[in-house]
Amino acid sequence: MLAHVLDAARQVNADKLHVVVGHGAEAVKARFADANDIDYALQAEQKGTGHAVMMALENLSESGVTLILYGDVPLIQPATLQALIELVSDQQLGLLTVNMEDPTGYGRIVRNDQQQVTSIVEHKDASPSQLAIQECNTGILAVPTEKLHAWLPTLSNDNAQGEYYLTDVIAMAVNAGLTVETLQPEFAEETFGVNNRQQQAELERWYQARQVDALMVAGVTVLDPARLDIRGDVTVGKDVVIDVNVVLEGTVSLGDGVVIEPNCVIKNASIAAGTRVKAFSHIEDALLAADCDVGPYARLRPGADLRAGAKVGNFCEIKKAVVGEGSKVNHLTYIGDAHIGKDANIGAGTITCNYDGVNKFKTEIGDGAFIGSNSSLVAPVKVGKNATVGAGSTITKDVEDDKLAVGRGRQKNLAWERPVKR
């Protein structure tokens, strides 16, 4: 959730990000260890929102604008934040509000007869008339930093909760003659917080719906928008089709005319134009060139590299291997640590024996090679161009170009008496 908030802040060109942490602080810092634009402030005791901002006060500059966000309000949009920042001047601050049918638990926006904001009253401190107000405080505001330095040290915790409320800054601003200009987001969900798993799931659904909408605006045919999950960054070409129960994770690129059939998981993969991924296939850290045919029930593991027109069929697993242009790995096959040339055919049940229990070794299969069904290729080994391996063979030595290799026991047909059940 915090990553979403930080990404939004970065998109409005924040000079510095200040994250107030408490319980689990070290886990938060570890998660963002690679970020060099974050200052951390520790709030050892949780004494309210005003107290939290006080912890970061010494790290703030003396001037400029401070934008106050919340780590458990993950879906705030950068455009909303930019509009809020633009409201701020030496004599004005910006406050994000939202109208709610059921405002229970939220602070209410109190206005005078001229509809100017005069204060924010917390739910537990509100009078019956104030509880009837439906305009609510989101807690998100943009303030002249100089004013924060002056106001925060004077906050009081004389209230029902015994906490230092950041909302008291609004009354301070009014008393100092400043204007509190309000802004409402395009979507109320931008301001929703996550306090339990139910709220998290509700926001996730809204987030997914917006991402799927963006794909459809880009021209993707999504057969059921409610049954596609996007968990990363997806780029698409023209006329892409995505069927139901598909999960796209990490960085995924789908070229023109790509078709993803039902129940596929695709993670950190590039899939070029015209490729079809059939049902129940799993693809991770893989490259698929144009016009490939994958699945159903195929698994492409990290390092799988399918060249143009390659085919990987049902119940096949490819790991750290190249499947050359036009080559076929059709059925019940494992190809690991291998390089397959062009127009090769790998028969059903073939495996590359790439691991001796300690080290991995490579198998090389040349252009036009034919590997008969149920063969085991014990790496390191090379099968030459246009070579053939007879079905059921165990190949432990290199096979030269155009040769036939047969590595199996000789068949014997013996006379015998079949046992019968007593």
pLDDT one-digit tens code per residue, 67-113: 999 999 999 999 999 999 999 999 999 999 999 988 888 899 999 99
Q: How many other CB atoms sit within 10 Å of the CB of residue 64?
A: 12
206: in domain: no
265 & 316 share domain: yes
260: in domain: yes
394 & 328 share domain: yes
171 & 224 share domain: no
391 & 360 share domain: yes
Which listed residue (4, 123, 149, 331) is catalytic? 331
Q: Mean pLDDT, to the nearest integer, of 341-345?
A: 98
**256-292 per-position pLDDT tens digit:** 999 999 999 999 999 999 999 999 999 999 999 999 9
What's the confidence (pLDDT) of residue 265?
Answer: 98
Question: 101-105, 213-217, 350-354: which has the minimum mean pLDDT?
Answer: 101-105
Q: Check whether 297 has a pLDDT greater than 90.
A: yes
373: in domain: yes
State the amino acid at position 410 in one-letter form. R
What's the confidence (pLDDT) of residue 159?
Answer: 80
223 & 147 share domain: no
Q: Check whether 143 has a pLDDT greater than 80.
A: yes
Print the domain residue range for 124: 2-11+62-191
Q: What is the mean pLDDT of the chain?
A: 95
Q: Check whether 160 has a pLDDT greater than 80.
A: no
Cα distances from 399 to residues 296, 333, 342, 355, in angstroms, run 32, 20, 17, 20
392 & 349 share domain: yes
The candidate with the shortest Cα–Cα distance to 294, out of 282, 303, 251, 302, is 282
pLDDT band at 392 (very low <50, low <70, confident <90, very high): very high
384 phi, psi to nearest 5 deg: -75, 180
207: in domain: no
30: in domain: no
Examine the residue annotation and report whether 331 is marked as an active-site residue of this protein. yes
351 & 262 share domain: yes
235 & 352 share domain: yes
The candidate with the shortest Cα–Cα distance to 345, out of 311, 300, 321, is 311
Q: Mean pLDDT, to the nearest integer, of 283-312?
A: 98
Cα distances from 137 to residues 148, 287, 377, 388, 411, in angstroms, run 18, 48, 67, 74, 83
pLDDT band at 178 (very low <50, low <70, confident <90, very high): very high
223: in domain: yes
182 & 227 share domain: no
Q: Say how many domains are in the chain.
A: 2
Q: Mean pLDDT, to the nearest integer, of 154-179?
A: 89
224 & 162 share domain: no
Domain with 92 in it: what CATH number? 3.90.550.10
306: in domain: yes
279 & 162 share domain: no
What's the confidence (pLDDT) of residue 161?
Answer: 82
What's the confidence (pLDDT) of residue 283?
Answer: 98
**238-261 per-position pLDDT tens digit:** 999 999 999 999 999 999 999 999
149 & 261 share domain: no
**319-334 per-position pLDDT tens digit:** 999 999 999 999 999 9
Domain with 374 in it: what CATH number? 2.160.10.10
The candidate with the shortest Cα–Cα distance to 168, out of 43, 65, 50, 66, is 50
Q: Which residue has the tokens 């998100």?
A: 140
23: in domain: no
What's the confidence (pLDDT) of residue 105?
Answer: 84
Structure tokens at 196: 């339990």
Distance from C-alpha of 121 to C-alpha of 252, rounded to nearest angstrom? 46
